[in-house]
């Protein structure tokens, strides 16, 4: 999951695609409110530089408007201009704090400061400000919604749901509240499945609640494609692929240029075993996010998205047996790796995928090179036994038995219960004439439940 959409409190749950347009934009602003709305609209369209200009104009019109600094901070942060973002954060916090000192009964300032802290300061400080705002204005549903977002960030699902419940009691016709509570129930269902992988009913109650909330959100806002996409996620988690695909179909009808809707439908088709339709949707998704970016482009979300879709389509091509196209996609995924093709860790498994594709094509030297890159790049908390097993098998296929034995031995050191590593090392020992060692490894593999292909 890839992928967050910009919602008031759902930043952790879905993928936001801001397609960057660097064309000049000029507009005459006549009020602070218009400047802020203009900036918000430009950010939603991915016109980040123009949005910064609009927020700057708002600040010039009202130098003590904390919201203007806060929004410009977020725009700078999106562009990885962290020094400017930090400066704006300090300015916004200072304005809120001074306003509270002058009027400690102003709930809007506590709420504003709490939201300003979110993602920048401690969760306790965020929640403290929002709790104070609720005490001062207990009938303001927006503050409950804001505090729920803090609990979501802290992964406190129970408290988040409680605040969404309170917000719904105050404003039962607000579709966004049902949408965001549905996201939390989806998370709870996924957590239940992860905790009980062999329980076919795990997460069902939570998924049912998620469907109920998202259905209500759709009823209240029939033009919201995002709710259809998330409900599609829920149905997919429940194993109901037909309903999942139907929701993605609806999302595409509502937003035919939404790359994520095509990507998600492609994954549903993949799960159904329909590789042709999956690849068609992945391809459309790629077309909607063109590759007009450089390796060091600041638009991280766009960069990440191409990485995700190419790697996913590559695996679909593997299942289809189209090795050449799979290799081409894995190569593109490496190029679009969010931290760059020379990154230390993030793309190790893409090198592993491409290595396996090279093996399938019989290009063993390139496979060994990719396995080596994967081993070099793997995170320290990820066991590399499968990487050494793969490279060892490739060395074995090339007849480089000593190198194969070294890799299988390392795989066994990393994972002493890896039966295939024992068996494969036994094969290598047998090739070198070391039959006693081979027989010992074959026996150990058999004890672990593996007797070869």
The CATH number assigned to the domain holding 374 equals 1.25.40.10
In terms of domains, do 391 and 376 share one?
A: no
pLDDT-derived band at 349 (thresholds 50, 70, 90) equals confident
pLDDT of 117 higher than 60: yes
Q: Are the beta carbons of 438 and 422 closer than 8 angstroms?
A: no
> With pLDDT > 70 as the criterion, what percentage of the chain qualifies?
87
pLDDT at 28: 47
In terms of domains, do 11 and 36 share one?
A: yes
- Check residue 232 and report its DSSP letter: H
Sign of torsion over alpha carbons 12, 5, 223, 174: positive
For residues 403 and 411, what is the distance between their CA atoms, to the nearest angstrom? 12
434-444, pLDDT tens digit by residue? 999 999 999 99
Q: Domain containing 70: what range?
A: 1-102
In terms of domains, do 368 and 388 share one?
A: no
In terms of domains, do 373 and 400 share one?
A: no
Whether 417 is in a domain gets the answer yes
For residue 194, give every residue at least 6 positions away whose Cβ sits within 8 Å of its Cβ, in sequence order, or none. Answer: none
> Which has the minimum average pLDDT: 21-35, 177-191, 346-360?
21-35
Write the DSSP assignment of 229-297 as a string of letters.
HHHHHHHHHTT-HHHHHHHHHHHHHH-TT-HHHHHHHHHHHHHHT-HHHHHHHHHHHHHHS-----TT-
Whether 227 is in a domain gets the answer no
Residues written for the chain: 453
For residue 443, the SS3 value is helix
Whether 255 is in a domain gets the answer no
pLDDT at 304: 76
Whether 112 is in a domain gets the answer no
pLDDT of 342 higher than 80: no
pLDDT at 295: 33
pLDDT at 106: 93
Average pLDDT over residues 206-213: 97
Run of H or E including 404: helix 401-414
239-298, pLDDT tens digit by residue? 999 999 999 999 999 999 988 999 999 999 999 999 999 999 999 999 987 654 333 334
Q: What tokens appear for 428 in the block?
A: 């290598």
> Which has the minimum average pLDDT: 238-242, 293-297, 308-312, 352-356?
293-297
Strand partners, 15: 4
């Amino acid at each position: 999951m890839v992928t967050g959409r910009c919602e008031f409190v759902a930043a952790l749950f879905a993928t936001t695609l801001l397609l960057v347009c660097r064309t000049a934009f000029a507009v005459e602003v006549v009020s602070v409110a218009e400047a802020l709305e203009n900036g918000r609209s430009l950010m939603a369209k991915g016109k980040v530089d123009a949005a910064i200009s609009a927020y700057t104009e708002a600040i010039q019109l009202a130098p003590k408007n904390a919201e203007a600094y806060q929004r410009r901070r977020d725009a700078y942060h999106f562009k990885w201009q962290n020094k400017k973002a930090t400066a704006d954060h300090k300015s916004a916090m200072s304005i809120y704090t001074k306003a509270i000192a002058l009027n400690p009964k102003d709930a809007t300032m506590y709420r504003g400061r709490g939201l300003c802290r979110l993602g920048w300061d401690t969760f306790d400080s965020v929640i403290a400000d929002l709790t104070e705002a609720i005490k001062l204005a207990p009938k303001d549903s927006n503050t409950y919604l804001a505090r729920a977002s803090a609990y979501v960030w802290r992964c406190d699902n129970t408290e988040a749901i409680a605040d969404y419940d309170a917000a719904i009691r105050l404003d039962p016709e607000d579709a966004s509240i049902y949408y965001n509570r549905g996201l939390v129930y989806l998370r709870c269902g996924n957590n239940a499945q992860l905790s009980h992988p062999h329980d076919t009913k795990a997460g069902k109650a939570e998924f049912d609640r998620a469907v109920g909330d998202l259905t209500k959100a759709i009823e209240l806002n029939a033009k919201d494609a995002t709710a259809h996409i998330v409900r599609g996620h829920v149905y997919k988690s429940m194993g109901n692929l037909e309903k999942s695909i139907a929701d993605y179909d609806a999302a595409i009808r509502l937003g035919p240029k939404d790359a994520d809707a095509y990507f998600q439908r492609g994954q549903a088709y993949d799960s159904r075993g329909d590789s042709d339709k999956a690849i068609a949707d992945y391809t459309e998704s790629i077309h909607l996010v063109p590759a007009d970016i450089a390796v060091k482009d600041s638009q991280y979300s766009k960069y990440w998205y191409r990485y995700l879709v190419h790697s996913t389509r590559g695996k679909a091509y593997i299942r289809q047996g189209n090795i050449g196209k799979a290799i081409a996609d894995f190569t593109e995924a490496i190029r679009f790796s969010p931290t760059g093709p020379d990154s230390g860790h993030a793309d190790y498994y893409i090198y592993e995928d491409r290595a396996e594709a090279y093996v399938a094509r019989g290009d063993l030297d390139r496979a060994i090179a990719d396995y080596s890159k994967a081993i070099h790049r793997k995170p320290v908390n990820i066991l590399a036994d499968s990487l050494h097993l793969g490279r060892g098998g490739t060395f074995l296929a090339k007849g480089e038995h000593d190198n194969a034995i070294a890799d299988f031995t390392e795989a066994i050191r990393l994972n002493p219960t890896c039966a295939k590593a024992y068996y494969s090392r036994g094969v290598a020992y047998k090739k070198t004439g070391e039959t006693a060692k081979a027989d010992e490894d074959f026996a150990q593999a058999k004890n672990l439940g593996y007797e070869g292909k």
